[in-house]
Structure 1
Amino acid sequence: MGTTKERAILFADLRGSTALYLKLGNTEAATVVTQSLSLLGQIVAKGGGRVVKTLGDGLMAVFDQADPAVEVAVSLHDSLERLAPIAQHQAARHGAIRLKVAIAWGEMVEVDGDCFGDAVNVAARLLDLAGDHETLTTGPLLRELPSDQQERFRSIDKLHLRGRKEPVPVLRMEARRFGDTLSTVIMDAQETDMPDGIRLNWLGTERVFSTASMPLVLGRSPQASFCVSDSRVSRSHARIESHSGHIYLSDLSYNGTHVRFDGDDQALTLRRGTCTLHGSGVISLGAPSTDPTSTQIRFDVLSFSDTLPQC
């Protein structure tokens, strides 16, 4: 038996390979995925980690310290723009390949080259909840980081991890889609009304949430910010948050989240993806809005002047 140690466990998973095979064909798509995983493995090794194993379209890695794992997570996300040859770069640029990452700090034991233990289990469960281009973690890893690294992370809510009785506080590393475009978004937002909150209405239950009270989770769990009762809805099904003058909706579920904006004939389907909420419309959890039995939450993005929202 191996010796129990405290380590950082990182899981990374490439998404979109199915669509890639349809777009590029089997041979070229397989080359893209294989070389992409190889590139991710090289980044892990260069950052001081060790790839324990590859898992389909992803990998699992271990780090002796927490901060190198965080730096590697940043590099992994950035790497998708540096894929070569040209066909791979085009595939990544058009969104065919996406990446999600999860990191956990805790006890693990190494047996015959593989790793087992609490940190492995937590990281694997976090990966299930992560959306495209996201890196998720929990408090134990954050406490191992220097202050400048801790500032990268934002608490998103207490989420239910499979195998855990109580919800776990989860943090997300600020994604490049918000961080690097911050100045541009703010400049654009100054020219229009910035949203101050959102109104949600389901079967007569109406709640108004200010941006200051976000993020909020929609789901079946009694601990969810907006709780609904439907077996097709996950306990933590979707997340609404505010960044840089915009309100975003992210799917966290297995059955998907559907958004139909007023005036649009077609609904937008999110599967671990994110979209910007604007105006008004309907958020359907677990089934499309065309299904009359689905959970359909009416939303209105609000701008307040003198009125304070009630949360």
Structure 2
Amino acid sequence: MTQILQRTVLFADLRGSTALYETLGNTEATTVVTRSVALVGRIVTNHRGVVVKTLGDGLMAVFENAADAVLAADEMHESMDRITPIGSNPIATAGRSPVLKLQVGLAQGEVVEMSGDCFGDAVNVAARLLDHAGDNEILATVNVVSPQPDEMRARFRSLDRVQLRGRVEPVHVFLLEGRRFSDTAATAYGELMPAPTEPEGIRLVWLDQNRVYSGPSLPVVLGRSPQVTYCIDDSRVSRSHARIDWHGGAFQLTDLSFNGTYVRFTGGSEIISLRRGTCTLHGSGTLGLGASLSDPTAPHVRFEVMRFSDTQPQSPVEFAFR
């Protein structure tokens, strides 16, 4: 029987399982991954959702109520933080980040339910949001965010309109920040923390592209797709490769790619490797997209964090490094 329903679609994906198999061995890693996916499935059920199918290291689920879907996604992240490999030495693993990272995409809309599976634009959008999610991030469309209670809605920060793979029209995407029992940052629905008193900008330079971004032009998405904010035409660069946000008084760089993003600050020799991770950008330096900065043929994007003490900058604007 085929039904057309309004549903909130959730895709959850565990990343890091390859390294887990290498570190723990097949038996224990399989147990951890299986237990993690089962835990995520139980959380879906506990929040009145339905697991449509499991997808290797993740699953797809649907909810009648968008608020239930967001609460489930929030609890998934909190529960994943408590998962530790069976048989692991607690002393040896103390202080380490969780080995598995969870990305969640949420979209609301009409779905076609047929033979136990679901199809439709909301399904495609929720799945594609995972391409843009960093480690332990929850991304949602505006139709998911709008009906949320005020307290939950205040935790969402707008990432503006994002071009999703295979879709003509961009989608307005929001990032869920903080935890249920912690303070939250400024969001698209109101200031919960004082905004920085001095506006900031970031300059990006690659070949003849010399631009400064600030304020309403953020976040900046760097990638190969012509639809991203800062286009870098190189086969090693993913369509949406990395994202730069202004958050908590600092610029945050998040890798969204398959080949990684690399950071070296001016005056330093260390190269920071990001694999779906995030780091704070300060001062100036160079970003390597898709290949290490030690590779001279890789696309290297220079950046400079700027302070505008006298005037409000327009974005983007063009001017050269001093």
Provide the TM-score with structure 2 as the length reference: 0.84
| Residue 6 (structure 1) shift | 0.8
SS of 1:94's equivalent?
A: coil
Structure 1 gap segments, 5+ residues each? 183-189
Partner residue of 1:297? 301
SS of 1:35's equivalent in the other structure is helix
The CA deviation at 1:262 is 2.2
What is the DSSP-based 3-state SS (H/G/I as helix, E as strand, rest coil) of the residue aligned with 1:104? strand
Q: Percent identity?
A: 57
Query: Could you say which residue in structure 1 is the equivalent of 2:102?
Result: 99
Q: Name 1:185's counterpart in structure 2.
A: none
Cα distance change of structure 1 residues 117 and 304 upon mapping to structure 2, 3 Å threshold: same
Residues 43-77 of structure 1 show CA distances to partners (whole Å, capped at 9, x for unaligned) of 11111112122111111111111110001111001
Q: Kindly tell me: are residues 47 and 297 of structure 1, through their superposed partners in 2, closer, same or farther at Cα, counting changes over 3 Å? A: same
1:78 and 1:167 map into 2 onto residues whose CA distance is 30
- Tell me, yes or no, if the aligned pair for 2:11 and 2:59 is still in contact at 8 Å: yes
User: Aligned with 1:120: secondary structure?
Assistant: helix
- Map 1:207-222 → 2, pairs under 5 A: 207-211=211-215, 213-222=217-226
Over the residues paired in the alignment, what is the CA RMSD in angstroms?
2.9
Whole-angstrom distance in 1 between the partners of 2:70 and 2:89: 25
Counterpart in the other structure of 2:189: none
Size of the alignment, in residue pairs?
Answer: 304
Aligned partner of residue 81 in structure 2, secondary structure: helix
CA distance in 2, matches of 1:251, 1:91: 26
CA distance in 2, matches of 1:2, 1:92: 50
Q: 1:195 to 1:306 in 2, by over 3 A?
A: closer
Range 144-153 or range 5-14, more displaced: 144-153
Q: Corresponding residue for 1:128?
A: 131
- More divergent stretch after superposition (210-219 vs 274-283): 210-219
- Structure 2 residue corresponding to 1:110, chosen from 109, 113, 117: 113
Q: Does 1:265 align with 2:269?
A: yes
Corresponding residue for residue 241 of structure 2: 237
Asked if residue 31 in structure 1 is aligned to residue 34 in structure 2, the reply is no
Q: Secondary structure at the match of 1:74?
A: helix
* Matching of residue 196 in structure 1 with residue 200 in structure 2: yes
Structure-2 residue corresponding to 1:278: 282
- Runs of 4+ in structure 1 deviating by more than 4 angstroms, as ranges, are 88-93, 179-182
Alignment of 1:44 with 2:48, yes or no, is no
Whether the aligned pair in 2 keeps the contact of 1:159 and 1:169 (CA below 8 Å) is yes
Amino acid at match of 2:309: S
Give the equivalent residue in structure 1 for 2:88: 87
Cα distance in 2 for residues equivalent to 1:24 and 1:15: 15
CA displacement, residues 158-195 of structure 1 (integer Å, 9 cap, x when unaligned):
22222212322222112449x6586xxxxxxx9xx988
- Residue of structure 1 equivalent to 2:164: 161
Tell me what 1:186 maps to.
none
Tell me, in whole angstroms, the C-alpha distance in 2 between the residues paired with 1:81 and 1:254: 24
Structure 2: gaps (5+ residues) = 186-195, 316-322
Is the alpha carbon distance of 1:92 and 1:8 closer, same or farther for their aligned partners in structure 2, counting shifts above 3 Å? farther
Match 2:142 to one of 139, 144, 150: 139
Partner of 2:319: none
1:262 to 1:133, Cα distance in 2 relative to 1, 3 A: same
Instruction: State the partner residue of 1:20.
Output: 20
Counterpart in 1 of 2:191?
none
Q: Distance in 2 between matches of 1:60 and 1:277?
A: 34
Deviations along 1:135-171, one digit per CA (max 9) or x if unpaired, are 1111222234344433222211322222212322222
Mean CA deviation greater in 116-125 or 21-30 = 21-30
- Cα distance in 1, alignment partners of residues 62 and 10 from structure 2: 6
The structure carrying a bigger helix percent of its residues is 1
Letter in 1 for 2:123: V
**Counterpart amino acid of residue 20 in structure 1:** L
Return the offset for 1:306.
2.7
Q: 1:88 to 1:59 in 2, by over 3 A?
A: farther
